[in-house]
Amino acid sequence: MLSAKKNQILSEVGSGTPMGELLRRYWHPIAPVLELGRRSVKPVKLLGEDLVLFRKPDGSHGLISRHCPHRGTDLSTGWVDGDIMRCPYHGWAFDSEGRCASQPFEEAGPSGGFRDKAGVSAYPTATLGGLIWAYLGPDPAPLLPDFELFSWGHGFVEIIMTELPCNWFQCHENGMDPVHFEWLHLNGNAVRSSPADPEYVPTHLSIDFLEFEHGFVNGRVVETPVVPPKGTYAGTNDVSEGGILCLWPYTLASGNTIEFRVPVDDRRTLNITWQYSVLPDDVPAGKQDQDEIPFWYGPLTDPDTGEILTSHTGNQDFSAWVGQGAVADRTTESLGRSDKGITLLRRRYFEAMEQVARGEDPPGTVRDPEANVNIQLPLMGKSLYTEGMPRRVFEEKLAARKESGLFGIGGFLTVQAGRPDHLQKEYDDIAGVAQMPAADVD
Ligand code: FES
Ligand SMILES: [Fe+2]
């Protein structure tokens, strides 16, 4: 349980707030590279700031304030003109440094215009892992961490985007909550598939966490882990041997998925899942063209009923976070032994906010270019991602998938509802398997 003041500090992301300042020390994924290949302008809201992202002819990007300094219209309704972002209202234009580059009517008059008084804010961007990233903080910007997963070559990557009507921190807390997996996902699936006679999975006995340079390792002891084909169960792991990771500032990394909880504003989160579907180990390694990593927007609700979806692992998480309210009220919660990681996470974020207030770099900051190459992470069972899945295991999992209809098994089924059919076909083609009918769960 927290005081209302502390809850507010955890939740507010605007410029000048303690958490807003902490978050402005990190790079944030804002859009798939491929999306800006298909459209050259996209409105973006990040940390409460209205921005417009645009792609220049050389493939690089600009990120500037959304509203034109002339009379305030939305620049994202304009167009890219050469290297500059043109406002549609009266034609003023801005370069990716935020400088006004054109004021057509003013420049035709006797004053010759006043470009130097008409700039906008501009922010640096970078690309990595098929995503465009932005940095909104003070100079010098830290490096964008080059985590090893962006160089893995034994999986099929896709990017899934879903905007959630809730604050980012309650989503991030999920990354330090191993016990929810047993109930929200596995026992929930058991009830959904067999309401009259659900078969609950073995229970967690204990949980544990280990902090490292870039975040926290999750550990757990589970009573008699289940095995395939039933098994979707993450079994016992000791934190010293690696585990599921909760990374600064808001990433959950399991290996099968890397999930970013990007703060849009105080009450909205852009969930970006970088799904890595493992391939059989006899498929030759090869990294995907990062500018061509496919993306899709996953629905939050069922279009027929308007109800929030709970069919897939990711959707089950969304339903839990949205269910906590737009901003979780931590003044009324009742924490227990399952919440050891939640308490640790909050304490470390309060400490990190103090570090930033003192002018220090927060945890997870990378500034050494030599260290920022293929940063190794203590993931559990990493060889699966770096070397691929043994063909025999792969075939067993395929059979289990057909039989159970469960999603999220072994990293080669989608974590969210709404995956375009063509992606399953692409994956099956690369994996060298006959295409299977879609499982009857939606
Ligand atoms: S409002 Fe943008 S040019 Fe007038
Ligand atoms: Fe979950």
State pLDDT tens for residues 232-269. Answer: 455 789 999 999 999 999 999 999 899 999 999 999 99
Task: Report pLDDT for 229.
Answer: 44
Give the number of whichever ligand sits closest to the CA of residue 76: 1
Q: What is the C-alpha to C-alpha distance for residues 246 and 177, in angstroms, rounded to an integer?
A: 10
Please report the atom of ligand 1 found closest to the CA of residue 75: 2
Q: Is 316 exposed, middle or buried (0-12, 13-18, 19+ CB in 10 A)?
A: buried
Residue 55 alpha carbon to ligand 1 centre in Å: 20
Whole-angstrom distance, CA of residue 342 vs CA of residue 346: 6
Closest C-alpha residue for ligand 1 atom 1: 71
Instruction: For ligand 1, atom 4, name the residue with the nearest CA.
Output: 90
Encoding tokens for residue 99? Answer: 């400088």
Ligand nearest to the backbone CA of 252:
2
Residue 231 gets which letter from DSSP? -
**Structural tokens at position 408:** 């999220």
Give the Cβ contact number of residue 63 at 10 Å.
27
Residue 65, both tokens: 């304030």
DSSP single-letter state for residue 219: E
Q: Over its length of 442 residues, how does the chain's per-residue pLDDT go in tens digits?
A: 899 999 999 999 999 999 999 999 999 999 999 999 999 999 999 999 999 999 999 999 999 999 999 999 999 999 999 999 999 999 999 999 999 999 999 999 999 999 999 999 999 999 999 999 999 999 999 999 999 999 999 999 999 999 999 999 999 999 999 999 999 998 998 898 889 999 898 899 999 999 999 999 999 999 875 554 444 455 789 999 999 999 999 999 999 899 999 999 999 999 999 999 989 999 988 888 989 999 999 999 999 999 999 989 999 999 999 999 999 999 999 999 999 999 999 999 999 999 999 999 999 999 999 999 999 999 998 999 999 999 888 888 777 766 665 544 444 567 899 999 898 888 888 888 765 554 443 3
* Candidate of 65, 79, 85, 89 to mutate for ligand 1, largest count of ligand atoms within 8 Å of Cβ: 89
Q: Which ligand is nearest to the CA of 88?
A: 1
φ, ψ of residue 270 to 5 degrees: the values are -95, 110
Residue with tokens 């009266």: 90
d(CA 433, CA 149): 25
Angstrom distances, CA of residue 322 to CA of 76, 128, 254, 317: 29, 29, 22, 9
Per the CB < 8 A criterion, the answer to whether 202 and 234 are in contact is no
Q: Please provide the DSSP assignment of 364-387 as one string.
A: T----TTT-SSB---BTTTHHHHH
| Residue 311 CB neighbours (<10 A) | 17
Q: How far apart, in whole angstroms, are the C-alpha atoms of residue 180 and residue 262?
A: 21
Q: Give the separation between CA 44 and CA 123, rounded to whole angstroms.
A: 12
| Per-residue model confidence (pLDDT) at position 217 | 98
Which ligand 1 atom lies nearest to the CA of residue 91? 3
Predicted local confidence at residue 347, as pLDDT: 98
Ligand 1 atom nearest 90 alpha carbon: 3
- Looking at residue 227, its pLDDT comes to 54
User: HEC string of 292-340?
Assistant: HCCEEECCCECCCCCCECCCCHHHHHHHHHHHCCCCCCCCCCCCCHHHH
- The pocket around ligand 1, CB under 6 angstroms, is made up of 68, 70-71, 73, 87, 89-92
Atom of ligand 1 nearest to the CA of 68: 2
